[in-house]
Amino acid sequence: MSVNGAWRSRAKVGEGPPHDAAGAMSSLILAGLMMVGYVVAYHTYGKFLARKIFKLSSQAVCPSTALQDNHDFVPTRKEILFGHHFTSIAGLGPIVGPAIAIIWGWIPAVIWIFFGSIFFGAVHDFGALVVSLRASGRSIGDLASDIINKRVQTLFLLIIFFELWIVIAVFALIMAILFTMYPISVIPVWLEPFIAFYLGHLVYKRGKDIFWPSIIAVVVMYGTVIVGAYFPLDFELLFGTSREATLIIWIILILIFHAWLASSLPVQTLLQPRDFINSHQLIIAMALLTLGLIVSHPPIVAPAINFAPEGAPPIWPFIFVVIACGAISGFHSLVSSGTSSKQCDNEQSSLLIGYGSMLMEGTLSVLVIVGVAAGIGLGLTIKGGEVLTGVAAFNYHYASWGAAAGLSSKLGAFIHGSANMIQSYGVPAKIALAIMSVFIVSFAATTIDTATRIQRYVVVEFCRAYRFKPLTERKAATAFAIISAGLLAFYDGSGKGALKLWPLFGSINQLLAGLTLLVITIYLARRRINIAYTAPPMTFMIVMTAWAMVLNIQKFYNTGNWLLLTIGVSVFCLQIWMIVESLIVFKAVYGKNYLLGTWPK
C-alpha cells in the first residue's frame, strides 16, 4: 500500500485527517520564508563582504591560471566549480546533523541553521577561499605559517590530518552501510563515474558546451536510478555473505575506487563532471521535495522545543556541534582552500562559490528539517507492517537520544520523510525511495573523493615544511592517505574502527571552523581591515567547541574511555596553544591597546 493510501485507509476508520488547514501551511511557510531570506542575504550581506571586506578584484590572477598543470590547478567556469564545491561540502553533513538535532525541537535547529549559515558558515567558507586564492592555492592550515607562525602551522595541519583521517574511514563505512540498507542505490552510484567520464571527455577533449551534455548525463543518470529501483544489487542475497562480510567488501571497494582512483585522476576527468552531475541531481531533488511540500503540505509533527529529551546532552553547547554542515563546518574550509581555490578562474567567482554554496547547503538543511519534522508524519511502515502516522511516526525515530543518534534512524527519517512528500504527486514509492537514497550516497562518494584529495595536499604540505621528500610526491601522498584510513577502519578487523573516534569528530570539526575564522581574522587584521564580521563568529565557535570538548572529556573520564580521553585532552591542549600564539600576534598587530578592545576600523 502506498503511504498516501495508508493515510486514507486510517482516516476511514475514524482516526481523522492527516492534518488540518492551519498545520498544513506551517511547513510550507517555514521553508518559503527561509529560502527568501537566503536570497536576500546573498545579495546584501554577501555582496557587502565581497566589496568592502575581501575587496574582490576581477583583475587578480588566480592560482588556477598562474600554476595551471591540468591536474589539480585547472581554470574552471564558476557554474561548474559551484557544482564541485557544493557537492563536496554537502555530503551527508547537512542531512545527518539537522536530522539528529531536531530532537531538541525544530525551532532551535531552524534558528541556528538560518543565522549560522548567513553570518558564520558562509563567511567562513568565503574567507577561506579568498585567503587561499591570494596565496597560490595553499590550504588554510599551511597558510597559518605565514599569517601566524610555523608552530601554529604544524598544530593546524595535525588537527586537519586527524579530521580527514576519520572522515575518509567513516564515510567509506557509511557508504557501505547505505549500500546494504538501500541496495537500490548500488547500480546508479557505480555507473555514475562512467557517465561523468564521458561528460568530461565531451567538454574538455571535444570542446562541447557543458549545458546540454550535462542535461543528457542527468537523464541517463536517472535512467540508472529506475533500473536500480527494480533491480537492486544486494551482495548478501547474491553471494550469501553475512552482513559483516558484506560491509568489509564494500569498504575495500570504496577505498580503492571512490577514494584512491578517483582522487588520483585529474580534476577535469572525474571530480568536476561527477560533481556537476550531482549538482543537477541536487537541484532536481530539491525541486521534487519543494513540489512535494506544496502538494502534500504536511504539518510539522516534531516538537517546537524539547530541551530535555531522554539521554541527550545539553542543547547548549551541543546543538552548535551536532549541526555543523548547514550552519558552519570546519571541513568546508578544507574544500575552499584545498580543491576549489586551485580551480577558481576569477576572484569575483568566489562569492558564488564560497558564500553562495553555503547558503544553498542551508537551504538543503531546511528541506531536511521539513522532511524529518513533517514529511515523516505522512506515514511510516515499521517492522511487522504497521503504518505509523503523525506524532507517532516521529516518535518512533526520536523516542530517545540513542534512537535518534543511530545511522539508520537519522538517515532513514530523512529518506522516508522525503520519499513520502515525493509520492504525494504520483511518483511510485519504489522510485521515490531510489531517488533519495541515490542522492545521499552520491554525495557521500563525492565527499570521500574530495577528502582524500585534500588529505594528499595536507600530507604534501606537511612533509615539504619538514623536508621529508618521500611523501611530497602525488602518488606516494595519496597512498599514505588511503592506507592510513584503511588501517583506522580495519584495526579491529570489522571496518568500523573509525567509529571509536567518531564521538570526537563533531567537536574537532567545529574547532577547526573556529580556528579557520581565527586565521581569516588575523589575515584581515594584518591588512588593517575591519574584523567585526569575522571576530564575533570566531569567538563564538571557539568558546562553544571548547565548552563541548570539556564536557566530552569529563564524560570520557567518568566512563573510563581512556583512548578518547587522551585524544580529547591532546586536541584541547593544541587548541589552547594555538589561541595563545594567535593572541600574541594580535597584540603585536594592535599594539598596547589590544587587550583593551581596540579593533581596526
Quick: pLDDT tens for 155-195: 888 889 988 999 899 889 888 988 998 899 999 999 999 99
Select the more confidently predicted residue: 9 or 562. 562
Dihedral pair phi/psi, residue 172, rounded to 5°: -65, -40
- Rounded Cα distance between 36 and 53, Å, is 24
pLDDT of residue 591: 65
Would the pLDDT of 290 be above 70? Answer: yes
pLDDT of residue 282: 82
Would the pLDDT of 138 be above 90? Answer: yes
CA atoms within 13 A on the CB side of 564: 23
Would the pLDDT of 406 be above 60? Answer: no
Burial status of residue 12 (CB atoms within 10 A of its CB: 0-12, 13-18, 19 or more): exposed
pLDDT of residue 145: 86
- Rounded Cα distance between 130 and 353, Å, is 10
Q: How remote is the C-alpha of 231 from its chain's centroid? A: 29
Would the pLDDT of 75 be above 80? Answer: yes
SS3 76: strand
Average pLDDT, stretch 314-341? 93
Would the pLDDT of 381 be above 80? Answer: no
Domain spans in the chain, listed from the N-terminal domain onward: 3-116+125-596
Average pLDDT, stretch 351-368? 93
pLDDT of residue 409: 62
Average pLDDT, stretch 253-266? 90
Window from 118-132, 546-560, 579-593 with minimum mean pLDDT: 579-593
Task: Give the best-scoring range by mean pLDDT among 84-88, 283-287, 348-352, 385-389.
Answer: 348-352
- List, for residues 490-539, the tens digit of each pLDDT value: 988 888 888 888 788 888 899 899 989 999 999 999 888 999 999 999 99
Select the more confidently predicted residue: 514 or 286. 514
pLDDT of residue 443: 82
Average pLDDT, stretch 61-85? 93
pLDDT of residue 24: 38
Would the pLDDT of 392 be above 50? Answer: yes
Pick from 575, 586, 570: nearest CA to 547: 575
Select the more confidently predicted residue: 545 or 421. 545
DSSP 198-246: HHHIIIIIS---SHHHHHHHHHHHHHHHHHHHHS---HHHHH---HHHH
Would the pLDDT of 390 be above 70? Answer: yes
pLDDT of residue 408: 58
pTM of the model: 0.87
pLDDT of residue 564: 87
23 pLDDT tier (thresholds 50, 70, 90): very low
SS3 380: strand
Dihedral pair phi/psi, residue 388, rounded to 5°: -100, 145
Would the pLDDT of 312 be above 90? Answer: no
- Rounded Cα distance between 125 and 489, Å, is 29
Name, in order, each residue with C-beta under 8 angstroms of 582's C-beta and a sequence gap of 6 or more: 148, 152, 518, 522
Would the pLDDT of 7 be above 70? Answer: no
pLDDT of residue 584: 85
Helices (H), 353-406: 357-373, 390-397, 401-405
Give the whole-number percent of the chain exceeding pLDDT 70: 91
308 pLDDT tier (thresholds 50, 70, 90): confident
Would the pLDDT of 118 be above 90? Answer: yes
Would the pLDDT of 14 be above 50? Answer: no
pLDDT of residue 405: 55
Average predicted confidence (pLDDT) for the chain: 86
Average pLDDT, stretch 125-152? 91
pLDDT of residue 112: 97
- Rounded Cα distance between 570 and 262, Å, is 33
Window from 205-214, 262-271, 414-423 with minimum mean pLDDT: 414-423
Buried b (16+ CB within 10 A) or exposed e, 440-459: bbbbbbbbbbbbbbbbbbbb
Select the more confidently predicted residue: 374 or 413. 374
pLDDT of residue 536: 95
* Residue 535 near residue 599 (C-beta atoms within 8 A): yes
Average pLDDT, stretch 306-321? 89
Would the pLDDT of 346 be above 50? Answer: yes
